[in-house]
Structure formats: structure tokens, C-alpha cells
Amino acid sequence: MHMSSESLLVILFVGLVAGWLAGQIVQGTGFGLIGDVIIGILGAFIGSWLLPQLGIHLGTGLISAILNATIGAVLLLLIVRLVRNGRGGGWGWQRSWWRR
């Protein structure tokens, strides 16, 4: 499979924007530049699989790709937060409740 440099730049741009937006929506999850790109790209895979399963089609183009990837990245970050919360990290409200 051959991928042009423009395609790679678009993928990285969509991943960066989606990862940054997801980090802003799910506060407290800053992963830096590389982490945001990775979260955004993984979110794009999640969003492109999950949204059609739910009957949601956002269309085509750059904006819909960013929205799709952002939705998937937010879901990914929420799952990561739940997993961290189960190990004693995360929001912290359960730890304080448990001690009472």
C-alpha cells in the first residue's frame, strides 16, 4: 500500500486536532504532542468503527474526520480514566468516599 506524504500529513493533523480536542473535553488528560496524535489516531479508528454501528454517519471531508476522531478519542480517554479509576487513580472521589 502506497501512502502519499500529503495523506500522512492529513492523518497526523486530524490525529493531533482530535487528540487535543478530546484532551480539552475530558479534562485532566494531557498527553503532550505525540500522545495527542496517538490518542487522536486511535480515536479515529474507534469512531470510524463505532459510529456506523450506531447508525451515525457524519459525512466526508476534513471536518467530519476530525469530529469522528474526536468522538472516538473522547470515548478512549473515558475508558482509560475508568481503568485508572479501578486501580486507585482517576477522579479521586471514590477513594475519599471509601475511607469514610
Per-residue pLDDT 10s for the chain (100 aa) are 676 888 888 888 898 899 889 988 887 656 778 888 888 899 999 988 898 899 988 888 899 999 999 999 999 988 888 887 776 554 554 444 444 4
Q: What is the pLDDT of residue 29?
A: 59
Q: Which residue matches cell numbers 457524519?
A: 58
Amino acid at 86: G
pTM score, whole prediction: 0.76
Distance between CA atoms of 28 and 47, rounded to whole angstroms?
22
CA–chain centroid gap for 22, Å, is 5
CB atoms within 10 A of CB 81: 16
Distance separating alpha carbons of residues 6 and 79, to the nearest angstrom: 32
Domains of the chain by residue range: 5-84
Give the model's pLDDT for residue 83: 85
C-alpha grid cell, residue 65 = 474526520
